Structure 1
C-alpha cells in the first residue's frame, strides 16, 4: 500500500473511480481464485490471481513513471517490484494480496486526507458566484467579478455575502462560522462592516461594496486555503528526499537475503514488507488534520511547514496596537454630575460632535449609536481647532473638548464630575451643559479582555519568552506590558527596529511575531512564524504572515500552538512506530521467518494503524475547554463593547 501521488487523473479516470476499480478488480480476482482452490483447480486460481494483479500493476507502473519524470523516487517503486517479482517467481496469491492492499490503501489514504481536509474544503466551496446589484433603481443578477467598489448589493436570506461591504439598510443576522469558527449568529446594523464568505440567516438587507470580489476577505482566505492544500510539510518532503535511499536499502536487503539463502521467497517477503512507508502515509494525514482543525477554530495556517514551525516556537513577539489592544479609541469610563445621567452626557456630546470631523467625534457618535441613544442635529456650532466644540443641542448650550477649554467656557466647575486622565494612553473629553461642567468621557485603546489568559496559555504551551514591541511611546507600552505581565517591553519601535528585535530574539529559540498592520509586515516575514490578525483583502500583514487569524481575538492562536505541538507529536509517533515495525518485519522476512503472504497482511495492519493514529490529530485537545472560550460575537465588528 503506497501513498497517493499527485497525478490523480492517470489512465483517464478520476482518482477515486480508478482506485475503486482497482480495488474491485483485485478483490474479485482474489475471491475467484480462492473459490477455484476450494474446488481443487489451482491452475485456474493461479490464472485468476495473475489476471487480477496485472491491471493494478499496470496502473502502478504508469504512476511510477510519472513520479520518476518529476524526480520523485518514492516507495511506489517497491510496490511495483514486489508485485512484479511475485508474479515472476510464481507467487501469484502474494502478488494479488499486495495488489489488493495497494488499491485498498490508496482509497483509505484518500479517505483519511479528505476527512482531514474537510474544514478547508468547506471554506473553498462556499464562494458566491453571482449577486443582485442595484442599477438605475432596478435589480440585476451579475457575476461577482462585475461588482465594483461602491455598488449597492441586496443580500437575501440564505445567501453567502459575495464581497466585503458596509451595511446600508436593515438588520443583518450572519452565520460567521466559516470564517471565525463562531457558532452563534452575529447581529449587524447600519454602518457596520460585514465580510464576504459569511451567510445571511436573517431578513433581507443591503450593503455597499467596499472592495472588488478578488480583493475581498473571503477571496484572500480561499487563496490561502488553496496554498495550504497544495503544500507539503518539511517532514513529508523529507520522505520524498529519502525515498531513493530507503529504496536502495530495501533492494539491498532483499538481494542479500536471496544471495545468502538462495531462497527467492525471502527476497520477495522483504520487498512486500517494505512496500508501504509509514513516513509517507502518516505525515500528510496528520499535518492536514492539524491544519484543518486550526481552520475550524478561525486560525488559517498557510502550509504544513508553518504548522511544524509553530510547534517549535519558543519566543513570542507581539505588537500592541490592534494586537494586544483593539486598535482604536473606546470609551472606558464616563464621569457624571449628580444632576445628569451618563447616557445624557454622552448623547449631548455625540449630538454636538456630528458637526465635527475629529477622530474623537467618530468614537463618541459610534458609542452613542451602540447604546441606542437618539442623536439630535446641533445648531449654532463653533469649532476651535485643537481645543473643542461649542453649540446648541435641544435648546441647551453644550461645550465639549479639553479640560482647560471647557472650564474657560463654563461659569461653574463641578470637581466631582471633572477629572483629568493620568493613566498612560488615556484621553479625557470634558462636557459642559448650560455653563456647568456635567461630566468627563474617558477614552483609551483598551487591552483585549482575553489577552492575559491567552498569554498565560501560551506560556503553558511552551512559549518561554514574550516580548511586547510597540510603536507607541515608552510610557504607554510599559503600562500595557505591566498590565499583562510581559517580561520585555520595547517602545517607540519602527518597522526596522521590529525586524532587529525578531532577529535578536532568535538566540532564545524559534520566534513567532504577531501583528496586524502594514508596519508589522517586515517583522512578520523575518520571524520563523508570522501571525496576522484578520485576512482583510491583500493586506501586507496577511500576505507576509504564515498564520492568519480570521477572528479578531487571540484565543485561536493559543489553541493553534497546542494543536501544532500535538499534531507533530502524533506524526512523529506514527513514523517511529510504523517504520520500526516495518524494519522488524523486513529483518524477520530476510531470515525466513515471515513468508510473503503473511508479510503483506502484517504490513497492511501496520499501515492501517499508522493512518488511524495520524487521524487522532483531528481530535481537539481539551475540546470542551476550547468551546467554553468561544463566546458569542467574536468579530472585529462586534468586539466587546466599551464601558
Structure 2
C-alpha cells in the first residue's frame, strides 16, 4: 500500500495535481503508521522499547508538519525494511528450519498382517512399522528386514547413504534411501532422537543472546539520543523540516535486528556442518572459550572395543581361538562379547551354539562349544580354570591402553585376544585446530585408569591429564578452571552430564552419546567428528565479530546522518532514503555470517 501510494502520488504531482498528491501520500502513510503503533503497544506490554518508536514519530511528525511525501517515503522504507528483515531471518534460519520441516506426522503400522496409517503419537515400543522408500523414519527403532539403506544427512551430515543390517539401530529423522523395509519401534515419537533435535532447534531459535540484549539497550539509548538531537534542533533553529529530517534519519528499523540475524546465521552455518548450537548466547560463549576439558571414551576414542591382535599357543591359530571364544560369548551380553562376535562375523567365521554356560559377572564365562570345554574372560579367571600355561601367550609387551581376554580350551590356555578402544584418527588434528581457534589449555578428564589416561594424553600432547575421575571429580575439574575464562566440556556419556551442565559450554557427542548428555549440553555434535567443534568455534567468532560490526557501523552512520540533518544538509525525503540504504547495508553485512 505504501508503494502504490508513493507511485500514484508521484503521478499526480507530475501532472500538477499537488493537493491530490499530498492527500494520496498521507493516506498511504496511515495504514503503515497504524500497524506500527499496534506493534509498539504490544512491545511495550512485553517490556520492550525499540527504534520502531522513532519510525512512528517520524511518520507522525511528517503528517503533522505538512510533509506527506517524507511520511510516505518513511512508510515505504519501514515496510520494505520489515520485508527485508523477514527475508534475512528466513535465510539465516534455513539450515535449522530444514531440520524442523522433516518431522514425520504419520507412519504405516502393522495390525496383524495388514497395514494401517496411524499418527506417530500413537506408536509404542515394539510396534512393527513399514518404512517406504523416500519416507522419513518417524521414531527410533531397530531394523527388522535383512538390510536397509538410510540417508543420515539430516542427522550426521553424512553425504552418502549407509547400509544397516537386521538388528541395527535406526534413528528417527533419517530417510529410507532404498527399498521399503520393516522396523521395530524402540521409543515413542516424543522420546526419539529427531524429536529431541527439533526441541533443541526450537529452543535455540527462541533464545535471546546477551549480544542481542545489549543491542536492545543500545536501541533505548539511541532513542533518547535521537529525541535529544531533535529537541536541540528545534530549540536552536525552530525549523520543523530539520526536526523531521533528524527523525527520519534515525529510523534504522532493521538495524538492531542485524545482531540476531548475524547470530542466527552463525547457528545456521554450524547446523550445516553437523553442530547444533542451542542458542545465540551459547554461540557467543563458544566464540570466547579458552579452556577445553575432554572426556576420553567416545570423545578422543571411538568408545568401542576392537580386536587388534590375537596371540595363540602353538596348537591353535588366531581364527580358531576367536571362533571358540565368540561362540561361547553368544551367551553373554557384555560389550566385550559383542566385540568378539562382531570380529568373528567380519572374518566370516561360523559360530557354534554354546551349551552348559556359566557366567561370572565381571570375570568371565565357561561352557561347552563343539564338545570342547571353553573358558573366556580375564587372565586370572582363565588361569584358575586351566592346568597348564604356554609362555607364548603370556601377557607381555601389551599396550597399556588395551584390554585382554584369555581363552582356555579343555584345561589349556589357547590364546589371548587383545582389544583396544582406538584413538580417533582425527583426534590430534582436531586438538591442534582447537588451539588454532584460540583455546589456551586442553585437559583430559577420564574415568579410566590413570595409566591409560596418561598414555592417551601423552600421545595427543594434552596439557593436563586426569584419570580415575568420578562424575563429581569431573565437575570439580570444570569448576576449578572457571577463573581462567569460559570453559568448554566435551563428553558423550550419562556420567558426563553433570560436568557438561557445570561448564560454560557443554558439548555432547550426540551422534553416539546418551540422551541425558545431549539434553544438558549447549552444543550437540550430530556428526561423529571432533574436528567439527573447532570449525564451529571459528564460525562463532566470525558471527560475533560481524554482529558487533553491524551495531557499531550502523549506529555510527545513523548518528552522522542525524547530525547532517540537524545542520540542514539533509532534507527529510533524502534523509529517509539514506537511512534505508544504511539499513540494507547493515543487514547484508550481517548475512555475511552465512558464508
1:454 alignment partner, one of 412, 415, 430? 430
**Is contact 2:151–2:174 with CA below 8 Å preserved after alignment?**
yes
Match of residue 73 from structure 1: 49
- Per the normalisation by structure 2, the TM-score is 0.93
1:154 alignment partner, one of 94, 110, 130? 130
The alpha carbon displacement at 1:184 in A equals 1.3
Match of residue 590 from structure 1: 566
Distance 2:347 2:227 in 1: 75
Match of residue 110 from structure 2: 134
**Is contact 1:220–1:538 with CA below 8 Å preserved after alignment?**
no
Where structure 1 has 5 or more consecutive residues not aligned to the other structure, the ranges are: 1-24, 620-643
Match of residue 218 from structure 1: 194
Against the structure 1 CA distance between its residues 245 and 357, is the aligned structure 2 distance closer, same or farther, given a 3 Å change threshold? closer
Match of residue 34 from structure 2: 58
Counterparts of 1:225-374 in structure 2, within 5 Å, are: 225-276=201-252, 279-335=255-311, 342-374=318-350
The alpha carbon displacement at 1:162 in A equals 1.1
**Is contact 1:239–1:279 with CA below 8 Å preserved after alignment?**
no
Distance 2:361 2:277 in 1: 47
Distance 1:396 1:536 in 2: 38
Distance 2:243 2:481 in 1: 53
Against the structure 1 CA distance between its residues 344 and 160, is the aligned structure 2 distance closer, same or farther, given a 3 Å change threshold? farther
| 1:206 equivalenced with 2:182 (yes/no) | yes
CA shift digits 1:44-101 (9 cap, x unpaired): 2212211111111111111111111212111101001111111111111111111111
**Is contact 1:278–1:575 with CA below 8 Å preserved after alignment?**
no
Against the structure 1 CA distance between its residues 123 and 530, is the aligned structure 2 distance closer, same or farther, given a 3 Å change threshold? same
1:42 alignment partner, one of 7, 13, 18? 18
Q: Which moved more, 1:604-613 or 1:125-134?
A: 125-134
Match of residue 180 from structure 1: 156
Distance 1:71 1:381 in 2: 70
Q: Which moved more, 1:347-356 or 1:396-405?
A: 396-405
Match of residue 510 from structure 1: 486
Against the structure 1 CA distance between its residues 287 and 160, is the aligned structure 2 distance closer, same or farther, given a 3 Å change threshold? same
| SS of the residue 2:259 aligns to | helix
| SS of the residue 1:183 aligns to | coil
The alpha carbon displacement at 1:548 in A equals 1.3
| SS of the residue 1:324 aligns to | coil
Distance 2:114 2:199 in 1: 33
Match of residue 3 from structure 1: none
Distance 1:166 1:398 in 2: 32
CA RMSD of aligned residues (A): 2.5
Distance 1:256 1:406 in 2: 93
Match of residue 77 from structure 2: 101
2:464 alignment partner, one of 485, 488, 503? 488
The count of aligned residue pairs is: 595
The alpha carbon displacement at 1:398 in A equals 5.2
The alpha carbon displacement at 1:437 in A equals 5.8
The alpha carbon displacement at 1:228 in A equals 1.0
Distance 1:186 1:355 in 2: 29
CA shift digits 1:271-324 (9 cap, x unpaired): 111101565121111111111111122111111111101111111111222222
Against the structure 1 CA distance between its residues 405 and 304, is the aligned structure 2 distance closer, same or farther, given a 3 Å change threshold? closer
| SS of the residue 2:350 aligns to | coil
Distance 2:480 2:10 in 1: 68
Q: Which moved more, 1:35-44 or 1:416-425?
A: 416-425
Against the structure 1 CA distance between its residues 289 and 558, is the aligned structure 2 distance closer, same or farther, given a 3 Å change threshold? same
Against the structure 1 CA distance between its residues 121 and 359, is the aligned structure 2 distance closer, same or farther, given a 3 Å change threshold? closer
| 1:568 equivalenced with 2:538 (yes/no) | no
| SS of the residue 2:49 aligns to | coil
Match of residue 505 from structure 2: 529
Against the structure 1 CA distance between its residues 256 and 358, is the aligned structure 2 distance closer, same or farther, given a 3 Å change threshold? closer
Distance 2:361 2:261 in 1: 62
Distance 1:199 1:546 in 2: 26
Against the structure 1 CA distance between its residues 394 and 508, is the aligned structure 2 distance closer, same or farther, given a 3 Å change threshold? same
Distance 2:552 2:361 in 1: 70
Against the structure 1 CA distance between its residues 341 and 292, is the aligned structure 2 distance closer, same or farther, given a 3 Å change threshold? farther
The alpha carbon displacement at 1:370 in A equals 4.3
The alpha carbon displacement at 1:559 in A equals 1.4
Distance 1:31 1:386 in 2: 83
The alpha carbon displacement at 1:509 in A equals 1.1
- Per the normalisation by structure 1, the TM-score is 0.87
| SS of the residue 1:366 aligns to | helix
| 1:189 equivalenced with 2:189 (yes/no) | no
| SS of the residue 1:446 aligns to | coil
**Is contact 1:406–1:431 with CA below 8 Å preserved after alignment?**
yes
Counterparts of 1:579-618 in structure 2, within 5 Å, are: 579-618=555-594
Match of residue 89 from structure 2: 113
